[in-house]
Chain A
């Protein structure tokens, strides 16, 4: 173990193990690490154990092996939740990437008021998930006095059931999450565009490249890494979405918008049966899928060689 303590002050070889520990980095790191391991990492591990039990609230529960997983993956409610979660993830991430890139490209152009525009684009991202749910619930009121239906009414279109029709509700939830998460994607995309060397663009200009050619042949390839990082973050966020959809639809109608986190909350705390063991199994599924993306990220950013500089 190396220490930065100057040998002239305290010769290394004279120090006992304890002294070396005290003068090393660990006294600074351990308090944070303890909190982290105890309150954050330990629950991940404990949850794996819980998922093998039939624990309910106020009842310790016994070991039942893989029973929870078996029941879950045969349960049509859970399977349809997984199916919607998949669609939801793909659609929101695709939407966030596409519009995030579009707006980042727009903000790269030269025109006045860009700073103000950028700020307005980021507002949904700073709004809490809870408030976003409330906002959109009011926008999507289904009588003709809802904002969206009032607009349709102007064009003589009959009111749409935005949230009480299963298909529409699924689309509305996706739309709201794209609205909410776009700002983050925009920030990363803007960062990615900034690191492209200006000379490359200029030499392409001299060769007479069109805008789309420059985008396809220079910008996108140069942004490959930042786009993958962006996708990884957005996928993790989408997979772990809860509050906006909880407030907006509560998972309804008839479970149509029950993304996986809602099923976990409902299984453990919502439906009166409080099956903590089975809920834990859902949590483990979410954990494992998230972990896969985290590992991809860590490898992608070459984390081992320095502080994860991409």
Chain B
């Protein structure tokens, strides 16, 4: 870029920043607005839409929704669903990925293709049979059922992320352990598991956020307010009083904060997990 003279370069730099700032504004403004709206005094939220920052912070709505609505329940449920799905789906996925990565056998390609295809077709398209299946298994509107379903849905993602990681662990390590007489379970536990931890971390974060945000399936499979997940329960709360914008904003904020926190802290892992799960590089 030597040919570009100094003023030209400055203009280009300015343009880059201008475009980037504009895009950043469009992407984040609604999110920041709702975070702020949840702590604004009433007058400002209803009458001053262009004011972003509140003149004083009013968190009374936060106390109110936790006192009058089962939102704490929804939070706990969502934690159970998300963490349950993380632990169970990754345990299954780790075993499967080890089996797939460390063996050559007839049907390996077919198994991998099946897993990939199931992963790519959203569970949403078969929501009706899933609903019926949950009913027949006695899992409809139960917390354990929701955990099982979310785990099953997330297994293929986990396998895709982990197979790639385990492939990169040198086989010489397992072979040495086999010579020492270690069983495959010991190899998996003592060699593969610790070395696959970075992969497990991105799979875990990815699974957590995906499950935490899931709405459509939970809205069909759950019914009683003691079992509702955070988004579905929030929808019920908002439907009860859609014009209470402060309550709406605060509810959205409570949904949003955990995900934003996870994202801010662990952004790199999420992106790694996604690109690995989506396109193998």
Measured CB to CB, the residues of A under 8 A from B are 1-6, 9, 23-29, 31-33, 35-36, 38-44, 46-47, 50, 103, 106-107, 109, 111, 113-114, 117, 119-124, 126-131, 134-136, 138-139, 141, 145-147, 149-151, 154, 179, 182-184, 187-188, 191, 195, 226, 229, 233, 236, 240, 242-243, 246-247, 261, 264-265, 268-269, 276, 279-280, 283, 286-287, 290-291, 294, 297-298, 301, 303-304, 307-310
Neighbouring B residues of A124 by C-beta, 8 Å? 27, 31
Can you list, as one digit per residue, whether each of B187-203 has a CB less than 8 Å from chain A (1) or not (0)?
01000000000000000
Asked whether, in the complex, the Cβ of B31 is within 8 Å of the Cβ of A32, the reply is no
- The winner among B164, B216, B249 for most chain A CB atoms within 10 A is B216
Asked whether, in the complex, the Cβ of B99 is within 8 Å of the Cβ of A29, the reply is yes
User: Which residues B12-55 have CB closer than 8 A to chain A?
Assistant: 12-13, 16-17, 19-20, 23-24, 26-28, 30-31, 33-34, 37, 46-47, 49-50
CA distance A29 to B37 in the complex (A): 49
Main DSSP-derived SS at the A contact region: helix
Asked whether, in the complex, the Cβ of A279 is within 8 Å of the Cβ of B128, the reply is yes
B129 is an interface residue with CB less than 8 A from chain A: yes
Neighbouring B residues of A179 by C-beta, 8 Å? 26-27
User: Which A-B residue pairs are the 9 nearest by beta carbons?
Assistant: A28-B99, A128-B213, A39-B152, A32-B96, A25-B103, A43-B129, A43-B126, A25-B99, A120-B24
Chain A residue with Cβ nearest B92: A32
Q: How far is the CB of A26 from chain B (nearest CB, A)?
A: 7
Q: How far is the CB of A28 from chain B (nearest CB, A)?
A: 3
Q: Known: A150-B50, A286-B125. Is A128-B231 also a contact (CB below 8 A)?
A: yes
B118 is an interface residue with CB less than 8 A from chain A: yes
Chain B residue with Cβ nearest A134: B252
Neighbouring A residues of B80 by C-beta, 8 Å? none
Partner of B128, one of A183, A226, A283: A283
Interface residues on B, range: 35 or more
- What is the total of A-B residue contacts with beta carbons within 8 Å? 292
Asked whether, in the complex, the Cβ of B280 is within 8 Å of the Cβ of A307, the reply is yes
CA distance A154 to B255 in the complex (A): 32
B123 is an interface residue with CB less than 8 A from chain A: yes
CA distance A129 to B281 in the complex (A): 28
B75 is an interface residue with CB less than 8 A from chain A: no
Asked whether, in the complex, the Cβ of A138 is within 8 Å of the Cβ of B275, the reply is no
